[in-house]
Amino acid sequence: VIDKERRGDYLGKTVQVVPHITNAIQDWVERVGSMPTSESGRIPDVCIVELGGTVGDIESAPFIEAMRQFQFRVGHDNFCLIHVSLVPVVGAVGEQKTKPTQASVRDLRGLGLSPDILACRSAIPFAEGIREKLSMFCQVSPKQVFSVHDCESLYHVPILLQQQGIIDVLNERLKLKDLTISSEMRAEGDSLWAQWREFARRRARDLDEVTIAIVGKYTYLTDSYISVVKALEHAALNINRKVKLSWVEASDLEESSKHKDPLKYHEAWQQMCAADGILVPGGFGERGVEGKVLAAKWAREHNIPYLGICLGLQVAVIEFARNICGMANAHSTEFRENCDEPVVVFMPEIDRTTMGGTMRLGSRPTKFQDSEFARSSKIKKLYAGADEVHERHRHRYEVNPEKVKELEAKGLHFVGRDAETGERMEILELANHPYYVAAQYHPEYLTRPLNPSPPFLGLLLAASGQLDAYLAGEDVTHEVDTKLKM
């Protein structure tokens, strides 16, 4: 909207939330809804849009108004509103209360949106009469009121909704039966549903555990790493394993912690010793960096599968430069601006004084190098031999290209570089190691339950001792009947 105003598209008119911002939101939804989402290039028939927040919040007001207008733009049969609400269980007797849902529906109607479906979160299934009560006071048919109670896992929720008949409700509301669906698409859908049920079944089973130590800076709030956690879970279930997370505060691994808090220091190192694999995620600021460097060193020296993400790649480079290449003062200019041997530097095109909006963001292509090592690298094989991959980025610092030759000469190979210039190091892999891989991008952003991120899949396969068999083409889940498309 700002760009349009500066180009003069509005011819000097006053730019307002309504209609300019709301129109831009609607245009964005239509544009995204018409993008192909499958490998075949098919355009979706249905687009699901999540409108987060709480009804009545000032932050979400423009978006709610945009959706109010959007229902008329696309027509009644092309718009279905699912309202997610809470039915709390109150008191020692466990009585379910419908008043919060009644109030939120009333507020939503006051803003011009009437829900077609109620998805009611609760700790327990609906008690007798609750569905009928919600139907009566919220003006929604009983068959369009769904109990979304606590399940064994999040992956069971689609199965729960399907059992309550949501497919029939959506078919009727959006006239989906009028669509022409080929037999191939139906078979694909049936296969996908069977895979999803198998995935959920695995989540509920007692599978062999794989312990992964996450060495981070924000472990006191594990939701900071929710994308990483889900990526690990997706990868583990696809190989018929259950991931056990061991949270290690990076600063607790440092020598200073040994004197400051010996108990935490020894507990942290005990967790490292017990882990089947080590993951070092991204982060900002100097705190805990030396602990992450020590984690990378431990994984390298003891042949423990290692995956570094963003800062995790940079600390792996720092550690290798210090201990293998003899650069005793190697560091990142993010933490030591005038260090003698900068192996990680500020990206040259970024303004150091104006930090806002200057990160290297979004999906960018990474090209695998045409070298003997890169062609046979584990990470390229995990990407199914692709020459180029697109992954999402979020960083300001990168490996110093002037140090690359020296690092590669000692066995740290940068098998993937940016496709635009070839000067940015995107993926590294260490020679003669079970699995020592790091990426400058964030592969966890593109993980999917039935399509796990390749770097995470490699970490779980290596940590469970299955990587070589998988790369050789063997079926690592031969003991299960339903195969996931992995």
In SS3 terms, 184-229 reads as: HHHHHHHHHHHHHHHHHHHHHCCCCEEEEEEEECCCCCHHHHHHHH
Segments in 84-182 forming alpha helices (H): 99-110, 130-138, 157-163, 166-174
End-to-end CA distance of the chain: 41
Q: Coil, helix or strand for 306?
A: strand
Unique residue bearing structure tokens 């993951």: 279
Among candidate residues 65, 138, 233, 310, the one labeled active-site is 310
Segments in 243-310 forming alpha helices (H): 255-260, 262-274, 289-301
442 catalytically annotated: yes
Q: What radius of gyration, in Å, describes the C-alpha atoms of the chain?
A: 26
Residue in 170, 238, 216, 123 with CA at minimum distance from that of residue 476: 238
Beta strands in 222-359 (DSSP E): 242-249, 277-280, 306-309, 330-332, 341-346
331 catalytically annotated: no
Element (H, E) at 417: strand 412-418
Which residues, 6 or more positions from 250, have their beta carbon under 8 angstroms from its beta carbon? 215, 216, 217, 280, 287, 288, 289, 291, 292, 295
Residue 27 is which amino acid? D
Tell the burial category of 310 from Cβ atoms under 10 Å away from its Cβ (0-12, 13-18, 19+): buried
Distance of alpha carbon 400 from alpha carbon 391, whole angstroms = 21
In order, the DSSP letters of 379-407 are HHHHTTT-SEEEEEEEESEEE-GGGHHHH
Unique residue bearing structure tokens 């499958």: 38
Write out the catalytic residue numbers: 310, 442, 444
